[in-house]
Amino acid sequence: MAGDHNWMGNARSWARRALREVLTSGQARSVREIGRVSQGQCARAFLLSLSTLALGCCGLFCPSSFAQESPYIVTYDHYLEEPGSLEVEYFSTFGTQRGGNDFHAYWVEFEYGVKAWWTTEIYLDGQTTFNDSTLFTGFRFENRFRPLKQEHFINPVIYIEYEQTSGADKILKEVEGHDIESDLAEPNGSLRQDHDHELEFKLLLSKSFKGWNVAVNPLFTKNLSPSEPWEFGYAVGASRPLALKAVPNRCNFCRENFIAGVEMYGGLGDAKSFGLHETSHYLAPVVAWNLPSGWTLRLSPGFGLNDNSHRFLLRWGVSREFSGFGEMVSRLFGGRP
């Protein structure tokens, strides 16, 4: 009996210690922070549900179409979305972090071809920092315009993006100015206090020749806060399908369905201090697998090229293109497609 009493007492004190541990250390230091974690989990669940819902709805009402997608994740070539088609994409970035916790950032992308010369996109960003929290970190609204009617030796596309993100945004969709690894080392609680409203301009220059695509994207960013200078960056990429001729039969594993390449991107300082000083740069092999069912899978391990860069970034993405989305919306509103 005394033994039982002793056991009960030990269990009670263990439970008290465990509760104190949960409330005071590590993942959740206060009840308020527990609330924040669960809010963050809601954000992640929201993004995942949204992409699943969009994929499901489009899958029900729109036929999917084979997409000859490029393998790039950061670099853009000059090809726009086909008019009336919607592409739903989900991307992940796992990043290592010195002086802080590793992270998993993700974004959902809705890309719609308005015209053959105009594509518009909305991004929703989120991230989970291990041993910290999960946050919804903002949105981006992007438009790409193709000014020239035909293919030329080099094909320019004008890219304009408005983004409203918090300092905790870690998707690293582009690297600009003096963005370096240590910027993201602080806990989410303090990073999320910063809010960025930025306009971003890119000139997408791209050329396809003998199966190869080469793309160069200079980048110019202006934080809408008047005190912030213009920031600069770049992304370059080269890619090629593994086979240039199609085989007659429908197949998943034919070489023509795989496109491999490499991309490199980084910051170039700002208007006050242009150059490579205090900037980060990455080199990343990329591969895309375009499935005949309409799905595209992408994988890209990225490596930091200097001490200011994250040592390793692992990116992957899944996307699906739905043709006739515009017509489906038109029918919903009673219009004639």
Partner 1 sequence: MKNRTIALCSAALLAFMVAGNFVGTLFPAYAQMNGPAAAEKHKWSYAALKKAPDEARARVNPLENDPDAQAAGGKLFEQHCAECHGRKAEGGKRGPSLRAHEVEEATPGAIFWVLTNGIVRHGMPDWSKVPEPERWQIVRFIQSFKISGALQSPAGQR
Q: Which residues bind partner 1 (CB under 8 A)?
A: 63, 65-66, 68, 70, 77, 79-80, 82-84, 112-117, 120, 141, 143, 146, 149-151, 162, 164, 195, 197, 208, 210-211, 213, 224, 241, 244-250, 256, 292, 323-324, 326-327, 329-330, 333, 335-337
Choice between 40 and 84, CB closer to partner 1:
84
Cα distance between residue 322 and residue 295, in whole Å: 10
Going by C-alpha positions, the residue among 120, 122, 113 that lies closest to residue 140 is 122
Q: Which is nearer to partner 1, 169 or 181 (CB)?
A: 169
Given the complex with partner 1, which of 84 and 269 has the nearer CB atom?
84
Q: Containing H/E element for 52?
A: helix 31-61
Say if residues 167 and 182 touch (Cβ distance below 8 Å).
no
Which CB, 71 or 317, lies closer to partner 1?
71
Q: End-to-end CA distance of the chain, in Å? A: 81
CB of 152 to partner 1, least distance (A): 9
CA distances from 262 to 66, 67, 215, 239 (A): 23, 20, 11, 6
Q: How far is the CB of 110 from partner 1 (least distance, A)?
A: 11
By C-beta, is 146 or 192 nearer to partner 1?
A: 146
CB of 326 to partner 1, least distance (A): 4
Least distance from partner 1 to the Cβ atom of residue 208, Å = 5
> How many other β-carbons are positioned within 10 Å of the β-carbon of residue 154?
12
Alpha carbons 311 and 94: distance in angstroms, whole number = 11
Closest approach, Cβ 66 to partner 1, in A, equals: 4
| Least gap, CB of 261 to partner 1 (angstroms) | 13
Contact 69, 88 (CB under 8 A): no
**Of 61 and 117, which CB lies nearer to partner 1 in the complex structure?**
117
**Cβ closest to partner 1, residue 38 vs residue 68:** 68
C-alpha span between 127 and 43 (Å, rounded): 9
CA distance 79 to 213: 11
Identify the helix (H) or strand (E) that includes residue 24.
helix 2-24
- Report in angstroms how near the CB of residue 294 gets to partner 1 at its nearest: 9
Tokens matching residue 224: 């809408």
**Do 55 and 64 contact (CB within 8 A), yes or no?**
no
Comparing CB distances to partner 1, the nearer of 5 and 149 is: 149
Helices (H) and strands (E) in the chain, counts: 4, 12
What's the CA gap between 123 and 139, in Å, rounded? 5
- Closest contact distance (angstroms) between CB of 308 and partner 1 is 30
